[in-house]
């Protein structure tokens, strides 16, 4: 829970510190500007709130690793849900309203996560898992989106080192193999999820793991 709180607080603080003009810059998500990514974070916060009050009675069917589905191709931004995000983001108009809504609902989601019983079984996306595993998956989600936020904004605050390390460990569990020790945590996350193409040296260091990349998480 501490890692989740740290990753979420750092991401929200990074958004709050952005000047208005940065909201029109591209993000690390294909087809999304920064404002679209921030709108997606509002939806993430809503999902956390909904899931934590959606208890399940059956046995778990997923954990923090199997929560993720591996897609065949990276998103293009043309999916109907992605298109909805674009319209929602545009409807906010001024960036201050997006900032306000993220701070408002994001604070509530953060408090709900801190109060949640990690052993509580919850249901989301036709899966049953403990709230602890569900929230652990969001450490990876929010760390990756923090990298997306800063992809073209070098002056924006980077994700905390400890959440980058935790997200790398989670991605290695999903991959079923570690990334080379020569990779920084950020490089492992960006290359591993297809957010950037590996260099020739990185591809050589990846060895057999290169064939299974990128891991497109859905």
CA angle 206, 208, 210 (to 5 degrees): 55
pLDDT of 203 reads: 97
pLDDT of 108 reads: 98
pLDDT of 72 reads: 85
- A 10 A CB-CB count for 76 gives 9
DSSP conformational letter for 94 = S
Q: Is 162 helix (H, G, I), strand (E, B) or coil?
A: helix
Residue 190 to residue 198: CA distance in whole angstroms:
9
Asked if 44 and 141 touch (Cβ cutoff 8 Å), the reply is: yes
Per-residue pLDDT reduced to its tens digit, 15-48: 999 999 999 999 999 889 999 999 999 999 999 9
Per-residue pLDDT reduced to its tens digit, 94-115: 999 999 999 999 999 999 999 9
pLDDT of 83 reads: 84
pTM for this model (two decimals): 0.96
pLDDT of 77 reads: 64
The low-confidence residues of the chain, meaning pLDDT below 50, are none
Tokens standing for 209? Answer: 């793991």
């Amino acid at each position: 829970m501490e890692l989740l709180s740290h990753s979420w607080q750092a991401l929200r603080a990074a958004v709050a510190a952005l000047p208005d003009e940065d909201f029109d810059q591209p993000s690390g998500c294909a087809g999304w500007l920064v404002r679209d990514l921030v709108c997606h974070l509002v939806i993430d916060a809503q999902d956390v709130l909904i899931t934590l009050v959606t208890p399940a009675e059956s046995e778990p069917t997923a954990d923090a690793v199997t929560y993720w589905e591996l897609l065949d191709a990276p998103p293009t931004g043309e999916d109907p849900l992605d298109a909805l995000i674009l319209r929602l983001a545009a409807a906010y108009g001024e960036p201050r309203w997006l900032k306000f809504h993220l701070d408002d609902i994001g604070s509530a989601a953060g408090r709900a996560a801190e109060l949640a019983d990690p052993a509580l079984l919850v249901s989301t996306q036709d899966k049953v898992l403990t709230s602890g595993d569900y929230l652990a998956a969001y450490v990876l989600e929010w760390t990756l989106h923090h990298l997306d936020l800063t992809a073209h904004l070098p002056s924006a605050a980077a994700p905390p080192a400890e959440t980058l390390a935790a997200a790398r460990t989670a991605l290695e569990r999903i991959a079923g193999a570690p990334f080379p020790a020569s990779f920084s945590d950020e490089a492992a996350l960006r290359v591993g999820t297809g957010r950037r193409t590996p260099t020739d040296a990185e591809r050589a260091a990846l060895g057999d793991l290169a064939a299974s990349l990128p891991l497109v998480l859905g």
